[in-house]
Structure formats: structure tokens, C-alpha cells
Chains A and B, each alone.
Chain A
């Protein structure tokens, strides 16, 4: 089973729509959770860390459900500039060293 799984999409939505992405992780010992945004041929950039209490940054809301091993990202009022691939990233200790596990990404296309 993959360490981190995401729906690859693409999600094609009109401007102004609300869209949600989900991510599941397989190891309950995972300790840190992140959403990264990656534009084509560019580096992943941190969008937000994900906390157990849930957190919001403008139009973006992230939720973590440790019991279900599930992370979500909600984007409200989608903009054309939100078009990108969204990577779910999970960190846990492996052999006493922190390792990051990447999902394969969910592609979002926001259309005019």
C-alpha cells in the first residue's frame, strides 16, 4: 500500500467554485502534514501545514483526521491562478530519522 494516496484528478472547475481534495496516509505514526502547490516544471512550494485542529489561510482550509488517517484541502472562490498540482506530504520517523512521503499530486484546472 502506498504511504500517501491522492486522487490524481484532474479536477476541472469554473472560476469561483469551491473544490476539495483528499489525501490518505497509511502509517498512523505520521506526525507532520503539509499541502504543497506545484506549477508545471517548477519546485513544490509550501501552501500550508495541516494541524489537528484544522487551519485556514484566506481561501484555503486544511483539515486533518488522525483517526481516519485523512487530510483534506478546501479551496473556496477558485481563481485561474489556483490552477496547479497540489501535493499532499506527510512526515514520520523512519529509523530514527524524519522522512517525507509525497503523494502523486492532484491536478486542478480552473477555467474562466
Chain B
């Protein structure tokens, strides 16, 4: 069964450093998302991406965050200058059509020290 893959599974970084989280969505999917989840809390929307542009972003997705789909297969989330409060599990997700079910990657656990 096709799946969304994310790398790395764990990332430890120092505050102020840049991190890039990588995702390969399911190949025929058209809609891409990043979510994050702080331990014990709910899944929070960060950004959605369709037709090579951001379609919506949340208030969490400030100027320190950016997304790219550089080559038609990878979908990356960059945090330019990490803060302690960016520590969370980051999930990439994709869907074939807008209202259809989301498929999630296994996540990247980001720890900012």
C-alpha cells in the first residue's frame, strides 16, 4: 500500500538553528499538509499546499516557517531559527482530492534544546 514517508524520524537541534523536515507524499496525491502535535495535545494545522502554492497557513506558521515542493516528489518544511516551543512531532499528510481522507507520514520528532 502506498504511504507517506518522512525523514528524519528524530531531529535534535540547538535553539536558533535551521531545520528541514522532509516528506515524500503518495505519488498521485495533489494536496499536501503539515501538522504538528505537542505531546499530550491535539493535532494542530500548520499549512496546506496545492498546485505549487500555499493555500492556507495557520497563525503558528509565521515568517520562520516555509514549505517547498522542489522536484515534484519531495515536500519540505523549513524552520529558519528554531525556538524551544517548536519542539513537537511534525506530521506530513497528503490526499488525492480535497475532501478525501488524509494519509499521514510517521512523523518527525523535533527536539529543540
The proximity string for B residues 49-88 relative to A, scoring 1 for CB distances below 8 Å and 0 otherwise, is: 0100001100000000000000000000000000000000
Range of interface residues on chain B?
A: 20 to 34
Q: Give the interface SS of chain A, mostly helix, strand, loop or mixed.
A: strand
The proximity string for B residues 1-43 relative to A, scoring 1 for CB distances below 8 Å and 0 otherwise, is: 0000000000000000000000000000001010000010111
CB of B105 within 8 A of CB of A46, answer no
Contacts of A95 in B (CB 8 A): 55-56
Indicate if A111 sits at the interface (CB-CB under 8 A).
no
CB of A44 within 8 A of CB of B99, answer no
CB of A98 within 8 A of CB of B99, answer yes
Which of A15-23, A54-62, A72-80, A102-110 makes up part of the contact surface?
Answer: A102-110
CB of A97 within 8 A of CB of B101, answer no
Chain A: residues with Cβ within 8 Å of the partner, total of 24
Of residues B41, B48, B109, which shows the largest number of chain A Cβ atoms within 10 Å of its Cβ? Answer: B48
CB of A97 within 8 A of CB of B43, answer no
Contacts of A103 in B (CB 8 A): 42
Contacts of B103 in A (CB 8 A): 46
**A68 → B minimal CB distance (Å):** 21
Indicate if A87 sits at the interface (CB-CB under 8 A).
yes
A89: contacting residue among B39, B102, B106, B109, CB under 8 A? B102
Contacts of A49 in B (CB 8 A): 101
**B104 → A minimal CB distance (Å):** 4
**A76 → B minimal CB distance (Å):** 23
**B92 → A minimal CB distance (Å):** 9
Contacts of A94 in B (CB 8 A): 56
Interface residues of A (CB under 8 A from B): 31-32, 34, 41-46, 49, 87, 89, 91, 93-95, 97-100, 102-105
